[in-house]
Copies of this chain bind each other. A is one copy, B any other.
């Protein structure tokens, strides 16, 4: 009755993918080391370590295709699976974006502009600083997310201090970009090579965590949208990428500099659930299953805001007639992403009024 796809990771991104799958006749089977993973509330879950080949072989046997909802899956596990069942996007695409140095090198190799960067040699860290200058951003190469493993340094002594603090990790230095705003593009490439792009979204962060997205982003020229699409297209074609890819950009004087790539659906695309004709989750499923992509056209003017740390009173949230609440079934914990709210407006003016009056 169902086509079954395997999903490595079982967080909220997987959960929303599963909910998008049922109407298409698709069932997600999750694989996550934690038996509490919230995607497991809405679909079956295999709770085993990523290195457990016996459990991975169960996953491979039950699925026609495997994907990720989380990029810090060991690439060896993805490669092991790919020898047995199609894995989309490929383990090599996953690998390329797990490490911030490889990520920047991959972007650069395919003509995508990036801030000046240099790996930090623990024996001789100042060499990197000579390349990128000051101020700079020091980042751990692996496992950084939501602003963790990052430091902005303004002086050489701050640089030395940050390198010492992160010393146990491989590091990268990047030139600090005096950007005007951060925007992101959600791009999707089908199995047949067709593309679809959502409009650029404007993202606001608090303490390094995505806090709010405004979608479509205001004041985007067609040239800027085309710039983002052209780069995403070049990168995805070069990697023979299938599925949704997200690129976060710094916007500086009408130019885009790539900050980060997520080889998966993304928090800045949550507005697409009700705000676009086809959600990022559905289009990812369509892509990896070889189905035609759906329209990415927006259906209004959206604001998406994360629910971090504490659960709000649902009655209060829903008292705004255009609010859509999305809870992830997770226990409250400081700074944890527990859900999000999307408000959908018919005109940019209504959205503007909401942003200036109802939100602070």
User: Does A294 lie within 8 Å of B314, measured CB to CB?
Assistant: no
Known: A1-B329, A2-B329, A292-B319. A23 touches B324 (CB 8 A): yes
In the complex, chain B residues whose CB is within 8 Å of the CB of A23: 19, 324-327, 339
Bound Cα distance from A325 to B23, whole angstroms:
6
User: Does B323 lie within 8 Å of A294, measured CB to CB?
Assistant: yes
Known: A1-B329, A19-B22, A329-B25. A321 touches B294 (CB 8 A): yes
In the complex, chain B residues whose CB is within 8 Å of the CB of A291: 314-315, 318
Bound Cα distance from A329 to B217, whole angstroms:
38
In the complex, chain B residues whose CB is within 8 Å of the CB of A25: 314, 325, 327, 329
In the complex, chain B residues whose CB is within 8 Å of the CB of A321: 277-278, 292-295
Q: Does A24 contact B (CB under 8 A)?
A: yes
**Chain A stretch 247-294: residues in CB contact (< 8 A) with chain B:** 274, 277-278, 286, 290-294
In the complex, chain B residues whose CB is within 8 Å of the CB of A344: 277, 299
Bound Cα distance from A330 to B1, whole angstroms:
7
User: Does A292 lie within 8 Å of B277, measured CB to CB?
Assistant: no
Bound Cα distance from A295 to B319, whole angstroms:
10
Bound Cα distance from A111 to B290, whole angstroms:
55
Known: A1-B331, A291-B314, A314-B291. A322 touches B277 (CB 8 A): yes
Q: Does A33 contact B (CB under 8 A)?
A: no
Write 27 A-B pairs (CB below 8 A) sorted by A numbering: A1-B41, A1-B329, A1-B330, A2-B329, A19-B22, A22-B42, A22-B327, A23-B327, A23-B339, A24-B314, A25-B329, A27-B41, A274-B277, A277-B322, A277-B324, A291-B314, A291-B315, A292-B318, A292-B321, A294-B318, A294-B321, A294-B322, A294-B324, A295-B321, A295-B322, A299-B299, A299-B344
